[in-house]
Amino acid sequence: MANIYYNGDINEGVLQGKTVAIIGYGSQGHAHAQNLRESGVSVVVGLRPGKSWDQAVSDGFEVLTVQEAAAKAQVVMILLPDENQPKVYKESIEPELTAGKALVFAHGFNVHFNQIKPPADVDVFLAAPKGPGHLVRRTYTEGAGVPGLIAVYQDATGQAKELALAYAKQIGSARGGVIETTFQEETETDLFGEQAVLCGGTSALVKAGFETLVEAGYQPEVAYFECLHELKLIVDLMYEGGLEYMRYSISDTAQWGDFVAGPQIVTEDTKKAMKSILSDIQTGKFAKGWILENQANRPEFTAINESEKNHPIEVVGRELREMMPFVKAKSKGVVGSAKN
Ligand code: NDP
Ligand code: MG
Ligand code: MG
């Protein structure tokens, strides 16, 4: 069974007197910085000049270059995009990692796949909320929290785990529960979850359902509501009470349809595909592909991203959401937009 920690199990005193540098002020960065500050932790933000810099300044933070922030802090949390981390780490963070400091990540990718090799005399740990940054922030302000994971990769001071737990508590994760894991488990399960279920699996399912209805002559607007919009309402029920509560809330006809149709859609073959995706993650094949794609300036990522924007479900969805202000239509680049 997993080791799960809640607020009452954690002594946050170990963070007292320490300054935390939050490197990056995007989805996760803005949430960690603001939650820590409101929990009484001393925070500086490390960035390059630009949009995030201006945002962090206007949110009242002391904003420094990455290197200055890393120099000033005892705990350095890297919340840059995973693909930018190795270069920024090498140039601006590593030179400031004196003995006894702590280097922290919200995802184990770069350490696990050998892209960042921290010196032996610093603590290295993970404090990873299991949810998008904007929810890490919003739930904290509501007195709740996004559950999280911690893992210790390297314990140079003897305090690494205590620090990791204190950090997780002060961003609000221990209100939901903090599970102890390893860099390997966090990295592999995070990548698998987003690829097979949360992002890859779900987008493909939504698109295939929409296409099936539209190709059969049904109106795209109806197909959009049925296959995309309504998904949130169903997932909210699962979030609150598992599959059982979702099935309790839907009609018996829908529940019977769930039982008979589900296994025809997600078949043994789907499970085989999942196993192969997991294996590519475990062997490092996926990581290598993504690292090389970035080194090549993302030719394939860019092409797919462009064509996905023009998918009919996106075109009709943009129009329908315009008419639903309560959905708070969010587009890429809008501050506060949800981002995974
Ligand atoms: P974002 O892309 O949202 O934010 C990145 C931030 O880094 C921006 O503030 C950006 O500023 C800054 N930045 C980028 N490049 C540089 C650079 N060269 N020098 C200085 N600053 C730079 O990242 P995320 O919050 O999505 O991801 C951060 C980490 O959190 C990753 O490890 C990710 O795996 C992990 N994570 C993310 C989750 C999420 O919900 N997004 C969930 C759980 C973990 P600028 O405006 O200048 O570009
Ligand atoms: Mg991830
Ligand atoms: Mg229905």
CA-to-CA dists, residue 107 to 93, 112, 157, 278, 300, angstroms: 17, 9, 22, 17, 24
What average pLDDT does range 247-257 have in this prediction?
98
Residue 155: per-residue pLDDT: 98
Residue 187: per-residue pLDDT: 98
Are 200 and 176 contained in the same domain?
no
Q: How far apart are the CA of 160 and the centre of ligand 1, in A? A: 23
In a domain, 333, yes or no: no
In a domain, 337, yes or no: no
- Residue 30 is among the residues annotated as catalytic for this protein: no
Ligand 1 pocket mutation, candidates 25, 28, 87, 92, criterion most atoms within 8 A of CB: 28
Q: How far apart are the CA of 172 and the centre of ligand 1, in A? A: 19
Q: How far apart are the CA of 55 and the centre of ligand 2, in A? A: 24
Domain end position, chosen among 154, 181, 208: 181
Are 249 and 299 contained in the same domain?
yes
Are 31 and 150 contained in the same domain?
yes
Are 81 and 56 contained in the same domain?
yes
Alpha carbons 329 and 91: distance in angstroms, whole number: 39
Task: Tell me, using a 6 A CB cutoff, whether residue 33 lines ligand 1.
Answer: no
Alpha carbons 285 and 283: distance in angstroms, whole number: 5
Q: Which of 30, 107, 112, 134 does the annotation list as catalytic?
A: 107
pLDDT band at 336 (very low <50, low <70, confident <90, very high): very low
Find the ligand nearest to 129 CA.
1
- Residue 167, domain CATH: 3.40.50.720
pLDDT band at 325 (very low <50, low <70, confident <90, very high): confident
Token representation of residue 275: 């196993």
Q: Is the pLDDT of residue 333 over 80?
A: no
Residues 6+ apart with CB under 8 A from 179: 2, 3, 4, 5, 147, 148, 149, 150
Which structural domain range is residue 303 located in? 193-327
Closest CA to 24 of 75, 84, 74: 84
Per the rule left: phi > 0, alpha: psi between -120 and 50, beta: everything else, 172 is left
Residue 17: per-residue pLDDT: 95
* Environment of ion ligand 2 (residues, CB < 5 A): 190, 194
Alpha carbons 214 and 313: distance in angstroms, whole number: 10
Are 162 and 283 contained in the same domain?
no
Model pLDDT for residues 66-119, shown as the tens digit of each residue = 999 999 999 999 999 999 999 999 999 999 999 999 999 999 999 999 999 999
In a domain, 332, yes or no: no
- 7 or 336, which is more confident: 7
Are 292 and 318 contained in the same domain?
yes
Closest CA to 52 of 33, 39, 75: 33
Ligand 1 pocket mutation, candidates 22, 79, 188, criterion most atoms within 8 A of CB: 79
Are 202 and 251 contained in the same domain?
yes
Three-state SS string over the chain comes to CCCEECHHHCCHHHHCCCEEEEECCCHHHHHHHHHHHHCCCEEEEEECCCHHHHHHHHCCCEEEEHHHHHHHCCEEEECCCHHHHHHHHHHHHHHHCCCCCEEEECCCHHHHCCCCCCCCCCEEEEEEECCCHHHHHHHHHCCCCCCEEEEEEECCCCCHHHHHHHHHHHCCHHHCCEEECCHHHHHHHHHHHHHHHHCHHHHHHHHHHHHHHHHCCCCHHHHHHHHHHHHHHHHHHHHHHHHHHHHHHCCHHHHHHHHHHHHHHCCHHHHHHHHHHHHHHHCCHHHHHHHHHHHCCCHHHHHHHHHHHCCHHHHHHHHHHHCCHHHCCCCCCCCCCCCC
pLDDT band at 339 (very low <50, low <70, confident <90, very high): very low
Look at ligand 1, atom 37, and give the residue with the nearest C-alpha: 28
Find the ligand nearest to 227 CA.
3
Atom of ligand 1 nearest to the CA of 129: 43
Find the ligand nearest to 108 CA.
1
Closest CA to 40 of 129, 162, 166: 166
Q: How far apart are the CA of 23 and the centre of ligand 1, in A? A: 8
With 0-12 / 13-18 / 19 or more C-beta atoms within 10 angstroms meaning exposed / middle / buried, residue 294 is middle
Q: How far apart are the CA of 129 and the centre of ligand 2, in A? A: 10
Binding residues for NADP(+): 25-28, 48, 52, 133
Q: Is the pLDDT of residue 331 over 80?
A: no
Structure pTM?
A: 0.93
Are 206 and 317 contained in the same domain?
yes
With 0-12 / 13-18 / 19 or more C-beta atoms within 10 angstroms meaning exposed / middle / buried, residue 14 is middle
Look at ligand 1, atom 10, and give the residue with the nearest C-alpha: 24
Alpha carbons 315 and 312: distance in angstroms, whole number: 5
In a domain, 169, yes or no: yes
Domain end position, chosen among 136, 152, 181: 181
Q: Cβ(198)–Cβ(338) under 8 Å?
A: no
